[in-house]
Amino acid sequence: MFCRSSILIFSLGILILFFLSGVATATPYENRWEKIIEENLEKVQKDPENPVYEFHLGVAYACTGEVEKTVDWFENFSENPRRREVSPKILADIEEKLREAPEDPVFLTQYSFALHVNYKYEESIDVFWQVLEYDEKNIWVYNYLAVAYLELEETEKAREVLDISLSIEENRYTRALLGYSYWMEGRYGRAMRHFVRTGTLMFRVMDLLE
């Protein structure tokens, strides 16, 4: 998949949360994410369209469940002409933080996202698994992990992760990703069995991922 599609696929893992029928499992680090939001909102007011702040706001809003804002900031980031220039810097900055606090769950979460937007999908997957050691009931992390597997076209592994997510909480987001995993393989009947349980959500999936 080419670069813009890659960002959009990852953003799907955030966008579809808006359509969840229930409330997803909350992160235990919400206070820290809220502080990151506050700090970066102040920065972006002084320097609008800075992709570094767009990235951090997108991640933080995703981890606090503020989905509409997450979509806005990740779309801004994916369309920002400076994204390619600054994505390596974002990654380097987070790596510096991790050198001082290598097991910090918030830094690890930011790192997994940063690896993803730098197209380092295999490394991103490794870090998502580390995050789950601290936040094992967070279905968002499982679903983002599944999106990374889908980027690598590892559909079986994606489905294994999505099954774990469903065992924690049934939701249309996971069903949509399961449907898409089968769609990628041309198994349209199986795909539709999951898509029909997502309502109009399936059309949003197809618009973004095709």
What's the CA gap between 4 and 74, in Å, rounded? 12
* Listed residue (55, 53, 29, 59) closest to 41, CA to CA: 53
pLDDT of residue 154: 97
The DSSP symbol for 24 reads P
Alpha-carbon distances, residue 95 vs 53, 60, 109, 115, 205 (angstroms): 17, 17, 12, 10, 32
Q: What is the residue whose two structure tokens read 């980031």? A: 77
Please give the tally of structural domains in the chain.
1
- CATH code at 20? 1.25.40.10
pLDDT of residue 2: 40
pLDDT of residue 41: 97
The helix-helix angle for 83-100 and 105-117 (nearest 10°) equals 150
pTM: 0.79
pLDDT of residue 12: 56
pLDDT of residue 95: 97
pLDDT of residue 208: 52
How many Cα atoms occupy the beta-carbon half-sphere of 102 within 13 Å? 1
pLDDT of residue 188: 94
- List the domain range (segments joined by +) for residue 143: 3-209
Question: How confident is the model over 178-191, as pLDDT tens digits?
Answer: 999 999 999 999 99
> Residue 62 CB: number of other CB atoms within 10 A?
25
Q: Give every CB contact of residue 43 below 8 A, 6+ residues apart in sequence.
A: 50, 53
What's the CA gap between 12 and 14, in Å, rounded? 5
Where the chain has pLDDT below 50, the residues are 2, 17-23
Residues in the chain: 210
